[in-house]
């Protein structure tokens, strides 16, 4: 038996579908899988935490999705996002658990465990996973490299940047769905977004994600950029992660954004936007307007 909250969300979603797709019998449409669920199959839907649980970003249930989508994302991008988010906290001394990584500096690559404890940083080199000669050089030269201000590059073995950013695209898309509803999320302009979320490797999508290292973990907002015209978009920000989604009737947004980035790089641009309340449950603003 679905929870009362789930049934309330189901009924609101079904009411929204009735307005957007009056040709369909009463049902709820999974926003990521697009399968339809009549009332007798409401129990096949589950509440989805957005952002995923475990990231330490005040996650909470926000929308209903089908069990298939829940399982697929939970065993793929969500795991990758957790590993990367753990690492994001390393420079701030706020890691919640150790992470096994490859550290690259001064032409040396070693496997280490990174962690933070009581405001200090810990780098534990793993003897069984490194060449002894390289490990010895690393341990000897690292203090000198640090004194020179040399950079370290950190790689997470087995972690896919494509899947990780696709996970954040999914977060942005679900927040936009909760805010605006089916009329926006199932629009033709969002078809490439839905395809990339479902298959990140097979459906490439450029320029939808920006990392924002300087942002606070409490930063979360939804906005519609209205000016300049070439940047009209829906922007969802969660902590250090910013996702750009097209507005209806703008199928060229990502291609145009890619061209602008190639021309201007990451130069700051002044934008004018309309802010929306961060959703605490599905609002479907456009479906009931």
For each of the chain's 289 residues, which pLDDT tens digit applies?
Answer: 578 899 999 999 999 999 999 999 999 999 998 799 999 999 999 999 999 987 878 889 999 999 888 887 766 777 888 878 777 777 777 776 788 888 887 788 999 888 887 777 788 889 889 999 998 988 888 777 767 777 778 888 777 888 889 999 999 999 999 999 999 999 999 999 999 998 887 777 888 999 888 888 899 999 999 998 888 999 999 999 999 999 999 999 998 888 877 776 666 678 899 999 999 999 999 999 8
Radius of gyration for the chain, computed over Cα atoms and rounded to the nearest angstrom? 22
- Report which of 182, 179, 247 is spatially closest to residue 20, judged by C-alpha positions: 182
Which pTM does this prediction carry? Answer: 0.86
The helix (H) or strand (E) run that includes residue 146 is helix 132-147
Q: What is the largest CA-CA distance in the chain?
A: 71
The answer to whether the beta carbons of residues 205 and 254 sit under 8 Å apart is: yes
- Report which of 281, 229, 254, 262 is spatially closest to residue 4, judged by C-alpha positions: 281
Task: Locate 85 and state its tokens.
Answer: 């988010």
Residue 156, Cβ neighbours under 10 Å: how many?
18
The answer to whether the beta carbons of residues 77 and 209 sit under 8 Å apart is: no
d(CA 103, CA 286): 48
**Which residue matches tokens 């988010």?**
85
What is residue 35's predicted lDDT score, i.e. its pLDDT? 92
User: Is the dihedral angle over the CA atoms 242, 248, 254, 259 positive or is it negative?
Assistant: negative
CA distances from 249 to 184, 198, 199, 232 (A): 11, 22, 24, 11
Residue 118, Cβ neighbours under 10 Å: how many?
6
Q: Long-range CB contacts (< 8 A, 24+ apart) of 39-44?
A: 39/10, 39/14, 42/2, 42/6, 42/7, 42/10, 43/1, 43/2
């Amino acid at each position: 038996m679905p929870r009362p909250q789930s049934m309330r969300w189901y009924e609101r979603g079904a009411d929204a579908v009735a307005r957007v797709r009056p040709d369909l019998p009463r049902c709820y449409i999974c926003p990521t899988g697009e399968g339809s669920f009549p009332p007798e199959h409401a129990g096949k839907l589950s509440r989805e935490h957005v952002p995923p649980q475990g990231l330490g970003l005040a996650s909470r249930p926000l929308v209903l999705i089908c069990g298939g989508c829940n399982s697929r994302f939970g065993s793929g991008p969500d795991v990758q996002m957790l590993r990367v988010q753990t690492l994001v906290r390393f420079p701030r001394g706020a890691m919640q658990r150790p992470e096994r990584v490859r550290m690259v500096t001064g032409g040396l690559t070693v496997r280490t465990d990174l962690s933070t404890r009581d405001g200090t940083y810990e780098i534990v080199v793993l003897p069984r996973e490194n060449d002894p000669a390289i490990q010895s050089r690393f341990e000897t030269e690292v203090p000198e490299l640090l004194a020179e201000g040399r950079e370290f590059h950190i790689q997470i073995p087995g972690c896919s940047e494509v899947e990780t950013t696709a996970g954040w695209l999914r977060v942005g898309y679900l927040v936009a769905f909760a805010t605006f509803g089916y009329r926006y999320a199932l629009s033709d302009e969002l078809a490439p977004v839905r395809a990339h979320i479902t298959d990140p490797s097979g459906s490439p999508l450029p320029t939808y994600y920006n990392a924002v290292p300087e942002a606070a973990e409490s930063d979360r907002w939804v906005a519609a950029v209205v000016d300049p015209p070439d940047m009209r978009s829906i922007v969802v920000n969660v902590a250090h992660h910013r996702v750009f989604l097209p507005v209806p009737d703008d199928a060229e947004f990502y291609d145009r954004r890619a061209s602008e980035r190639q021309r201007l790089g990451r130069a700051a641009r002044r934008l004018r936007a309309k802010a929306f309340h961060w959703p605490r449950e599905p609002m479907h603003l456009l479906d009931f307007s």
